[in-house]
A and B are shown apart, each in its own frame.
Chain A
Amino acid sequence: MLQTNPSTSPPPMVSLSAAGVRRKGRWLVRGVDFSIARGEIVTLIGPNGSGKSTTAKMAIGVTRPDEGHVTRIPNLRVGYVPQKLAIDWTMPLTVDRLMTLTQPLRGRDIDAALEATGIRHLARAEVQHLSGGEFQRALLARAIARKPDLLVLDEPVQGVDFAGEIALYDLIKTIRNTTGCGILLISHDLHVVMAETDTVICLNGHVCCRGTPEAVSRSPEYLRLFGARAGQTLAFYSHHHDHTHLPDGRVLHSDGTVTDHCHPDDGHHHEEGLPAGRAGPMRIVHAHGPTCGCGQHGDEKPAANTGPLQERGDA
């Protein structure tokens, strides 16, 4: 209801509206609105404990929302790569056998998925003997082999080195382009996302902000660091929040006020570029302009932010 979908866009496979999950008297996440259509890539970002995985689990029906609604088209075929998956040493499981964990598959579909993820030579290996990166590829291969309508990848590049990360994102892009499936991606990185992402949603117990990523290739600094190939695959989502979540659950706003909860229009000061404290090689100063395409300018706030306003006057 909050997103204004042009009539040309395909109908969503999954949509969440004002969805939230409450555990032991605490809201893990609430007020989540988004939808995923066929061929669309949605990336969830946010700090640890911000409700990314919970949101993904709500979207695919593993976790039921305690408020709001989640609707899925009937017989939606999901391919899921969970964030944590530890296979007990006592279970003998080869990569080949892992592929048919949730459904029987044809041999050539298995081979194609292993080939695509570059682990065909490991088909007979026990999963417990794989390295972190190989295991992630095996899980991805398993998820794509069943030809899902919606691929849900919870930090798929964890344990994968930078070159491998680029390769995996390239692969995910190829999967989307060839099969037309929708992809819900959870990124461990707060600022660098896959370039093909259609919508980035930043969570911190609620939807902090959303927008489109900006091509990394526009930044000469980034290109110098990681090369043109990375520039085609990665993008950054530069954003700066105007409030901080305190350890006791209250919210500190940039104007110095402290409130019990976030407010619907708690937004971001994009004009300020990246937060000053940001360290490391990814530091890129981004100045917004009319053509930057990030869609998150102060003067064109999305409809979501014009909802019921709170009493507090923001600076």
Chain B
Amino acid sequence: MLDDFFIRALLAGTGLALTTGPLGCFVIWRRMAYFGDTMAHSALLGVALSLLFQMNLTISVFAVAAIVSLALLLLQKRGSLSTDALLGILSHATLATGLVIVSFMTWVRIDLVGFLFGDILAVTPQDVSLVWGGGILVLFAIVYLWRPLIASTVNPELAAAEGLEPERARLAFMLLMALVIAIAMKIVGILLITSLLIIPAATARRFSASPEVMAVLASLLGAIAVAGGLFGSLKFDTPSGPSIVVAALAIFLFSLLPWRRRAEEGAIQADTGGHH
């Protein structure tokens, strides 16, 4: 019953969700949702440049996303504009520049919708191995950098004082984000990548007692959303990328239902040593 392309889509999607879980937690904790969006939007400039110079797509998307994040760091240090204004400029400037460059290249046929919203049902076996290879690399890096990343998220100066090099952790985090965006682009598309980072992590928050639990839970919830979205897409013949996001949203809304309240009160009671 399940076609080969569907298995591939499922493998690629769940593999991606495993990496976006922990990264998405950091995006939420560090309040970088808009930053993630900006890096994702810059991916279209990467696509355009890869077509223009006939470079590898994944590498050029990664490079552009990484350069944009470094540019933001430099502009922030100059301190003349607020971060959200800078992000607004970079985000839409890179997206628009990418679109303009693509429109100049009349000799290439490009599936713009596929880049913007993803085409997970068209993933090749190479794509699947890229997702899993890159994903495992990202997960290993996160595990290796976990303590400095968490400590510098709580307080960079505290991390620095106690010898954890927060700047290095921050740089590594940005490169990992760029890598995941380069991998995720084909699957959920440029405009929807951030949702796969944020929605599962936000859902996991309410059920987690520690950062570690939240990261693992976000991965699992993301994988469930991918599977649910893909089955829905197959059943109702809806576009796959948006279907995955809608599935993630459905899980998030489900987690908000009133039955949570009792469990939450229980948790608070346990927190305060059962004085209530």
Q: Which residues in B have their C-beta under 8 angstroms from that of A62?
A: 157, 160-161
Asked if B158 contacts A93 (CB within 8 A), the reply is: no
Asked if A129 contacts B160 (CB within 8 A), the reply is: no
Asked if B4 lies at the interface with its beta carbon under 8 angstroms from chain A, I say no
Asked if A94 lies at the interface with its beta carbon under 8 angstroms from chain B, I say yes
Asked if A249 lies at the interface with its beta carbon under 8 angstroms from chain B, I say no
- Tally A residues with Cβ within 8 Å of B: 29
Asked if B210 contacts A94 (CB within 8 A), the reply is: yes
Q: Is the interface of B mostly helix, strand, loop or mixed?
A: helix
Asked if A80 lies at the interface with its beta carbon under 8 angstroms from chain B, I say yes
Asked if B162 contacts A102 (CB within 8 A), the reply is: yes
Asked if B93 lies at the interface with its beta carbon under 8 angstroms from chain A, I say no
- Known contacts being A88-B29, A90-B205, is A97 close to B210, with CB within 8 Å? yes
Asked if B216 lies at the interface with its beta carbon under 8 angstroms from chain A, I say no
Q: How many angstroms between the C-alpha atoms of A97 and B211 in the bound complex?
A: 9
Q: Which residues in A have their C-beta under 8 angstroms from that of B150?
A: 101
Q: How many angstroms between the C-alpha atoms of A87 and B154 in the bound complex?
A: 6
Q: Tell me, rounded to whole Å, the shortest Cβ–Cβ distance linking B150 to chain A.
A: 7
Asked if A82 contacts B210 (CB within 8 A), the reply is: no
Asked if A289 lies at the interface with its beta carbon under 8 angstroms from chain B, I say no
Asked if B210 contacts A122 (CB within 8 A), the reply is: no
Asked if A103 lies at the interface with its beta carbon under 8 angstroms from chain B, I say yes
Q: Which residue of B lies closest to A142 (CB)?
A: B158
Q: Which residue of A lies closest to B273 (CB)?
A: A121
Asked if A80 contacts B209 (CB within 8 A), the reply is: no
Q: How many angstroms between the C-alpha atoms of A102 and B159 in the bound complex?
A: 7
Asked if B147 contacts A102 (CB within 8 A), the reply is: yes
Q: Which residues in A have their C-beta under 8 angstroms from that of B160?
A: 61-62
Asked if A92 contacts B209 (CB within 8 A), the reply is: yes
Q: How many angstroms between the C-alpha atoms of A129 and B151 in the bound complex?
A: 19
Asked if A92 contacts B208 (CB within 8 A), the reply is: yes
Asked if A73 lies at the interface with its beta carbon under 8 angstroms from chain B, I say no
Asked if A90 contacts B271 (CB within 8 A), the reply is: no
Asked if A90 contacts B213 (CB within 8 A), the reply is: no
Q: Tell me, rounded to whole Å, the shortest Cβ–Cβ distance linking B199 to chain A.
A: 13
The 8 A CB mask of B25-43 against A (1 = contact, 0 = none) is 0001111000000000000
Q: How many angstroms between the C-alpha atoms of A60 and B163 in the bound complex?
A: 10
Q: Which residues in B have their C-beta under 8 angstroms from that of A103?
A: 147, 162
Asked if A57 lies at the interface with its beta carbon under 8 angstroms from chain B, I say yes
Asked if A85 lies at the interface with its beta carbon under 8 angstroms from chain B, I say yes
A91: contacting residue among B154, B270, B272, B273, CB under 8 A: B154
Asked if B271 contacts A80 (CB within 8 A), the reply is: no
Asked if B164 lies at the interface with its beta carbon under 8 angstroms from chain A, I say yes
Asked if A125 lies at the interface with its beta carbon under 8 angstroms from chain B, I say yes
Asked if A124 lies at the interface with its beta carbon under 8 angstroms from chain B, I say yes
Q: Which residues in B have their C-beta under 8 angstroms from that of A91?
A: 29, 153-154, 211, 214
Q: How many angstroms between the C-alpha atoms of A176 and B164 in the bound complex?
A: 25
Q: Which residues in A have their C-beta under 8 angstroms from that of B210?
A: 92-94, 97
Asked if B270 contacts A124 (CB within 8 A), the reply is: yes
- Known contacts being A92-B213, A102-B151, is A79 close to B162, with CB within 8 Å? yes
Q: How many angstroms between the C-alpha atoms of A102 and B210 in the bound complex?
A: 15
A90: contacting residue among B28, B157, B268, CB under 8 A: B28
Asked if B151 contacts A93 (CB within 8 A), the reply is: no
Q: How many angstroms between the C-alpha atoms of A80 and B156 in the bound complex?
A: 12
Q: Tell me, rounded to whole Å, the shortest Cβ–Cβ distance linking B273 to chain A.
A: 5
Asked if A94 contacts B209 (CB within 8 A), the reply is: yes
Asked if B154 contacts A101 (CB within 8 A), the reply is: yes
Q: Which residues in A have their C-beta under 8 angstroms from that of B268?
A: 129
Asked if A70 lies at the interface with its beta carbon under 8 angstroms from chain B, I say no
Asked if A274 lies at the interface with its beta carbon under 8 angstroms from chain B, I say no
Asked if A78 lies at the interface with its beta carbon under 8 angstroms from chain B, I say yes
Asked if A57 contacts B157 (CB within 8 A), the reply is: yes
User: Which of B28, B30, B157, B214 counts the most chain A CB atoms within 10 A?
Assistant: B157
Q: Which residues in A have their C-beta under 8 angstroms from that of B153?
A: 88, 91
B157: contacting residue among A82, A88, A93, CB under 8 A: A82
Asked if A80 contacts B29 (CB within 8 A), the reply is: no
Q: Which residue of B lies closest to A92 (CB)?
A: B208
Q: List 17 A-B contacts (CB under 8 A).
A: A60-B161, A79-B162, A80-B157, A80-B162, A87-B154, A88-B30, A91-B29, A92-B205, A92-B209, A101-B150, A102-B151, A102-B158, A121-B273, A122-B273, A124-B273, A125-B272, A125-B273
A interface list, Cβ under 8 A from B: 57, 60-62, 78-80, 82, 85, 87-88, 90-94, 97-98, 101-103, 121-122, 124-126, 129, 146, 152
Beyond A91-B154, A92-B214, A124-B270, 10 additional contacts (C-beta under 8 Å) are: A57-B161, A80-B157, A85-B158, A87-B154, A88-B29, A97-B210, A98-B154, A102-B159, A122-B273, A129-B271
